[in-house]
Amino acid sequence: MDDLAPRRAAIPPAPRDFPGFNALGFQTLYLKEVRRFWKVGTQTVLAPVVTTLLYMLVFVVAVGGDRQSVDGITFAQFVSPGLIMMGILNNAFANSSSSLLQAKMFGLTTDFLTPPLAPLEQVLAFSLGALTRGLIVGTVIWLTILFLPGTFLTVRHAWAIVYFAVNASMILGLLGILTGLWSEKFDHIAGITNFVVMPMTFLSGTFFLVDRLPEPFRTISHFNPFFYLIDGFRYGFIGHADGNLTGGAIMAGALTLGLFWLCWRLFKSGWRLKS
């Protein structure tokens, strides 16, 4: 009887039409990103705290005792904001880069490409997931440092702390998205981390004043965007900026918007996701 039935052409289902922002889809993908790193909190949150404590032990206890104060504050108070920001930068980058690469390697990109999610919603979810991890790690490190002797941090300009922490998390989260899209294996992410992120972090004034560097390293350091992120964040605690605070704030906002636009364009084209 089936042979006698009129044959009908298969009609593919019509795509769901979301004229506006798909808030539910964005929320689902964002929560997935947060729960992904929260399930292994010992590795993603507690491990950076232990690393920071080791840095504090080496640079403050072993070395800092023989160092003079920096602009009227102790070396421990000077270096602590830099260590907090270093934790924010590294973890925001690791979150988005590893998430995208794992999705590509295990064939899970359909989880966020098949649902009716626009590129804007996808980039927002991945970048805000990285921002959440960066801020959580930074907050935990901050609270841990407060219990160490001689490292009391006074909040002098809360707006600078929030502004530069949020922009730093977004910038490294978006850079992590670009790295995850480009990478084909974890060695590629490790290469970007070891040869780009870590050198720019360590040479950005985390442990020293860049104005005390000899030329041409002093001038070169002022072209490092990480320098302005750490310098502006430290300004929120100690009230002193080593560089141009206004220029750094403008640079941070412009870099966030520029990287977001680039990620949006790549998601829209499906670069290394749909090929």
pLDDT of 83-110, one tens digit each? 999 999 999 999 999 999 999 999 889 8
**In whole angstroms, how far apart are CA 113 and each of 66, 139, 182?**
56, 33, 17
- In whole angstroms, what is the distance from residue 190 CA to residue 198 CA? 10
Rg, the chain, Cα only: 22
Percent of the chain scored above 70 by pLDDT? Answer: 88
**In whole angstroms, how far apart are CA 211 and each of 60, 141, 229, 242, 251?**
21, 27, 16, 7, 19
Name the token pair of 115: 């649902």
Whether residue 193 contacts residue 93, with contact meaning beta carbons closer than 8 Å, is answered with yes
- In whole angstroms, what is the distance from residue 213 CA to residue 223 CA? 14
Question: What is the pTM (predicted TM-score) of this model?
Answer: 0.88
Q: What is the mean pLDDT of residues 15-25?
A: 76
Q: Kindly give, in sequence order, each residue whose CB lies less than 8 Å from that of residue 162, ignoring residues fewer than 6 positions away.
A: 236
Buried b (16+ CB within 10 A) or exposed e, 199-236: ebbebbbbbbebeeeeeeeeeebbebbbbbbbbbbbbb
The long-range contacts involving 250-255, CB below 8 angstroms and separated by at least 24 positions, are: 251/225, 252/163, 252/164, 252/167, 252/168, 252/171, 252/225, 252/228, 253/167, 255/167, 255/171, 255/225
Whether residue 47 contacts residue 141, with contact meaning beta carbons closer than 8 Å, is answered with no
- In whole angstroms, what is the distance from residue 113 CA to residue 53 CA? 40
Q: Which has the higher per-residue pLDDT, 51 or 15?
A: 51
Whether residue 212 contacts residue 190, with contact meaning beta carbons closer than 8 Å, is answered with no
- In whole angstroms, what is the distance from residue 136 CA to residue 87 CA? 10
- Beta pairing partners, 70: 73
Q: What is the mean pLDDT of residues 56-75?
A: 66
pLDDT over threshold 70, residue 69: no
User: What pLDDT does 115 receive?
Assistant: 87
User: What pLDDT does 150 receive?
Assistant: 67
| Per-residue pLDDT reduced to its tens digit, 209-262 | 777 777 777 788 888 999 999 999 999 999 888 888 999 999 999 999 999 999
User: What pLDDT does 66 receive?
Assistant: 54
Which DSSP category does 80 fall into? H
